[in-house]
């Protein structure tokens, strides 16, 4: 997995809107990939979300990775080193920023 970084900012993929989350609906071992993968970012940027499921299956052929939230994916660009976490409520993901807790780091 290559983390997508441009101009000192890291791409964070998240799925707003109710229904299904993306990184939040999967095993922790897939989290880094689903949050940051350069190819996933490219598929979202070029509006090729319909190819996300096949791409994820090609990377993890023997694993189940839920891609139900892929059609709603958005990209948030965070300054490298920003601490954050994905918050999910009823399938809708949002990004929370850290001030003093354990968080993911861009």
Residue 1 pLDDT more than 80?
Answer: no
Residue 19 pLDDT more than 90?
Answer: no
What token pair was written down for 62? 């023997």
Tens-digit pLDDT profile for residues 32-79: 999 999 999 999 999 999 999 999 999 999 999 999 999 999 999 999
Q: Is 70 helix (H, G, I), strand (E, B) or coil?
A: helix
Domains of the chain, by residue range, sit at: 5-105
The pLDDT, as a whole number, for residue 51 is 98
Residue 101 pLDDT more than 90?
Answer: no
Residue 106: pLDDT band (50, 70, 90) is confident
Please tell me the distance from the alpha carbon of residue 63 to that of residue 25, in angstroms, as a whole number: 14
Q: Count of residues for the chain?
A: 106
Is the Cβ–Cβ distance between 69 and 22 less than 8 Å? Answer: yes
């Amino acid at each position: 997995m290559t983390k997508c970084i441009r101009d000192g900012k890291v791409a964070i993929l998240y799925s707003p809107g109710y229904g299904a989350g993306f990184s939040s609906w999967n095993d922790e071992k897939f989290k880094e990939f689903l949050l940051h993968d350069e190819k996933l970012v490219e598929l979202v940027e070029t509006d090729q979300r319909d190819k996300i499921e096949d791409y994820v299956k090609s990377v993890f052929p023997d694993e189940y990775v839920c891609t139900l939230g892929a059609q709603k994916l958005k990209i948030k660009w965070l300054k490298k080193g920003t601490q954050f976490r994905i918050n999910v409520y009823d399938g809708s993901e949002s990004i929370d920023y850290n001030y003093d807790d354990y968080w993911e780091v861009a």
